[in-house]
């Protein structure tokens, strides 16, 4: 459900950028979504299509780059990639981790006219 809110957020940014950069149509959009960001990619795609109907981004191609989770172990200082928030450190088995990447939700680039 909150994927719809995210899509509304994306559309607001597109409309603002359209005013700022003087474009009236978005052809394609590149997003970066972390695998730990709790975003369901399929729901986001569906929501994007629905939210953008009859807007400057109607029919725009949505390219999504998934960014893998990264963490640092606070016990052994090991750095590794993390598939779930509750996964232990692969080196020492500890759970005291600091997530260092993979929770981003960003718009990177647009193709506009």
Partner 1 sequence: MCTVCGCGEGETRLEGEGKGHDHEHAHSHGEGAHHRHDTHHYGRGPAHAHAPGVSQTRMVRIEQDILARNDAYARANRSRLARAGILALNLVSSPGSGKTTLLTRTLRDLQGEMPLAVIEGDQETVNDAEQIRATGVQALQINTGKGCHLDAHMVGHALDELRPKAQSILFIENVGNLVCPAAFDLGEAQKVLILSVTEGEDKPLKYPHMFHAADLLLLNKIDLLPHLDFDVARCEEYARRINPEIPILPLSARTGEGMESWYRWLRLARESRLLGRTPLAGETA
- Do 32 and 104 touch, CB atoms closer than 8 A? yes
Can you give the length of the chain in residues?
113
Indicate the residue among 59 and 68 with the shorter CB distance to partner 1: 59
Indicate the residue among 2 and 91 with the shorter CB distance to partner 1: 2
CB of 36 to partner 1, least distance (A): 8
CB of 39 to partner 1, least distance (A): 8
- The residues that touch partner 1, with contacts defined as CB under 8 A, are 1-2, 5-6, 8-10, 12-13, 17, 21, 23, 25, 27, 31, 36-38, 50, 53-54, 58-59, 74, 84-86, 88, 95-97, 99, 104-113
Residues 6+ apart with CB under 8 A from 99: 36, 69, 70, 71, 82, 85
Cα(49)–Cα(95) distance, integer angstroms: 39
- Do 53 and 83 touch, CB atoms closer than 8 A? no
Indicate the residue among 30 and 79 with the shorter CB distance to partner 1: 30
């Amino acid at each position: 459900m909150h994927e719809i809110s995210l899509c509304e957020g994306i559309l607001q940014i597109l409309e603002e950028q359209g005013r700022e950069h003087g474009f009236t149509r978005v052809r394609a959009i590149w997003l970066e979504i972390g695998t730990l960001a709790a975003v369901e990619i399929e729901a986001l795609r569906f929501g994007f299509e629905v939210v953008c109907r009859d807007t400057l981004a109607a029919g725009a191609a949505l390219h999504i780059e998934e960014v893998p989770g990264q963490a640092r172990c606070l016990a052994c200082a090991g750095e590794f990639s993390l598939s779930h928030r509750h996964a232990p450190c692969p080196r020492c088995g500890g759970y005291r981790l600091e997530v260092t990447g993979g929770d981003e939700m960003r718009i990177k680039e647009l193709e506009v006219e």
